[in-house]
Every structure is written in C-alpha cells, then in structure tokens.
Amino acid sequence: MKEQILRYVSRDYPWKDRFHFLPQVDSTNDYLKKLAAEGAPHGTVALSDHQTGGHGRRGRSFLSPPGVGLYLSILLRPECPPTRLMHLTCAAGVAMCNAIENSAGFRPGIKWTNDIVYGKRKLGGILTELRLNSQGLVDYAIVGIGINCCQSAQDFPPEIREVAGSLAMVTGQEVDRFRVAAAELDALYDMSVRLLPEQEALLSQYRKDCITIGQEVSLVRGDEIRHGRALDVDGEGALVVLFPDGHTEAVNSGEVSVRGMYGYV
Ligand code: BTN
C-alpha cells in the first residue's frame, strides 16, 4: 500500500522517507508515541490498514476494521508553548475537509471540535495528543485521524449504524483509498506549514466548515447537561455558547462534549 499511496502525493511532498505503513497495529497514535520517544522527526507519519485498539477522545474506541478505512497519525514538533496549539484539532479538521474534497469530490462538515460529518453521519474523527518537555514547551503533538472510506451501512455494528457513514456512502461510488491517503498527506503537510503563521485563516475556514455554529446544543460535563446555542468558534478553537439567561461562555473541547439537541449532530 505504501508505494501506491506515495505514487499519488504531490511532487514536492517532503516527508516520503518519514512515512511508515503498517498492515496492522494496535493504534497509530500509540505507535507514533514510541517512535517519538526514540527521536522520530517532525513530519513522521504512521498509516495502517487495520487497528486492533484504535481509540478516540474520552477513552472511546474507534472501530478500525481492515480493508475499508484509513487510520493515520502524524508527529509534529512545532517548538512552541502548548497555548500556541489550541487550534490544532481545528486545523486538522480543515485539512481533512480539504483532503476529502480533493480526493472524493465532496466537502464534508465538522461537528465541533473533531468529528468529520456529512448529513447526520460521522465519517471520521480526530484525536490530538500533546507531550510537553521539562521546560513546559511542546515536545511533540500527535494528530490521529480515522476515516471510514469504503463501508456500506450494513458494515457498521447496529449500535452505530444510524449515525456512522463512509465516503463511499456519500458518493455512491467506489473510493480509492490510495488517493484519499495521499490527499491526507498533502493536506497535513500544508497544515503543518500554515499552523503557526496562519492561525486566524485556518480558524476562519474552520468556522465555514463547522456545522455546530448556529445550532442548539447540549453541553455534557460529567453528570451535568446544559443547553444553549452555539454562536461561534473563538480564536483558540473554543465554542462560544449563548445560554438561556443571556450569558455567553467559551467552552473548551477538553472540558465538555457537545451533542445536537435532537440527535448526534
Ligand atoms: C474520535 O472520534 O473521538 C477520534 C477518533 C480518532 C481515531 C484515529 S484512527 C488513527 C489514530 N489512532 C488512534 O488510535 N486513534 C486515531
């Protein structure tokens, strides 16, 4: 799969020698953490056809069967304080919308902060993990992305069949995973270059792609559920919510999860 993917990346993609293809792995994020500890450089990518322990945010598992999806993680070493990376998951979301548009021919949306969606279905998700060094600066960031490419509705287990989707379910056509993977590599390289100097431009595109803005939302923090209306995404990627008593709050994705009032999106 490695050669077929690299055949489609743009000619000036600079990290071909940092690309690791793994037929099967527990989790590409966890694999990359081990490489990072051994000193792997900025731009190292692990991509797998099959994860046996793929995971998402809040310890949830991310179903990663063979032959139908793409499970990819990229290691970034931006040498900055973590406060400069508050928008990283948003930037990765925009990169995935670009990659899917360029390879599958449609632009999905983003459910704040990290779900790639189309209509009422989740096509993929993003898991960002940071490690700091002893000076409190970023040692590395790992951005892990799972995309459902070729599944039909019956391929998903009954408990997520109504809310999960794939690129092929949207297009109604076969999806070339090599092209999608190559588009992901190109889009993530572009993101890495723009990440610090173009934070506001990336967030401005994120606001266009984010389907949560303008929606009635439920904010879940532990046992507490509050309802409000999502007004905006701020300059650091936090969701600005208006509550019925008239006050607004910028909520952080680490603190709360957001649900649409009437279903998953
Ligand atoms: C979510 O939906 O909460 C995020 C899912 C992220 C899944 C990807 S697949 C590649 C990488 N490896 C993992 O174990 N997780 C991420």
| CB 114, CB 253: distance < 8 Å | yes
Protein residue whose Cα sits closest to atom 7 of ligand 1: 146
* 64 contacts: CB under 8 Å, gap ≥ 6: 48, 50, 51, 52, 54, 71, 146
Q: Whose CA is nearest to atom 1 of ligand 1?
A: 56
**Alpha carbon of 229 to ligand 1 centroid (Å):** 28
What is the 60 CA–ligand 1 centroid distance (Å)?
9
Separation of 165 CA from ligand 1 center, angstroms?
15
Whole-number pLDDT of residue 83: 97
Instruction: Give residue 56 CA to ligand 1 midpoint distance, Å.
Output: 4
Q: Pick from 124, 70, 103: which is nearest to 179 by CA?
A: 103
pTM score, two decimals? 0.96
The atom of ligand 1 lying closest to the CA of 58 is: 3
Walk along the chain (265 residues) in steps of 10 and give the mean pLDDT of each run: 96 97 98 98 98 93 97 97 97 98 98 95 97 97 98 96 97 97 98 98 98 94 92 96 97 78 66
Q: Is the CB of 142 under 6 A from ligand 1?
A: no
Q: Is the CB of 215 under 6 A from ligand 1?
A: no
User: Which atom belonging to ligand 1 lies closest to the Cα atom of 29?
Assistant: 12
* 63 CA from centroid of ligand 1 (Å): 9
Pocket flag, ligand 1, residue 62 (CB < 6 Å)? yes
Residue 229, token pair as written in the block: 């209306």
HEC letters along the chain? CHHHHHHHCCCCCCCHHHEEEECCECCHHHHHHHHHHCCCCCCCEEEECCECCCECHHHCECCCCCCCEEEEEEEECCCCCHHHHCCHHHHHHHHHHHHHHHHHCCCCEEECCCEEEECCEEEEEEEEEEEECCCCCEEEEEEEEEEECCCCHHHCCHHHCCCECCHHHHHCCCCCHHHHHHHHHHHHHHHHHHCCCCHHHHHHHHHHHECCCCCEEEEEECCEEEEEEEEEECCCCCEEEECCCCCEEEECCCCCEEEECCECC
Question: Mutate which of 20, 31, 49, 127 to test ligand 1's pocket (most atoms within 8 Å of Cβ)?
Answer: 127
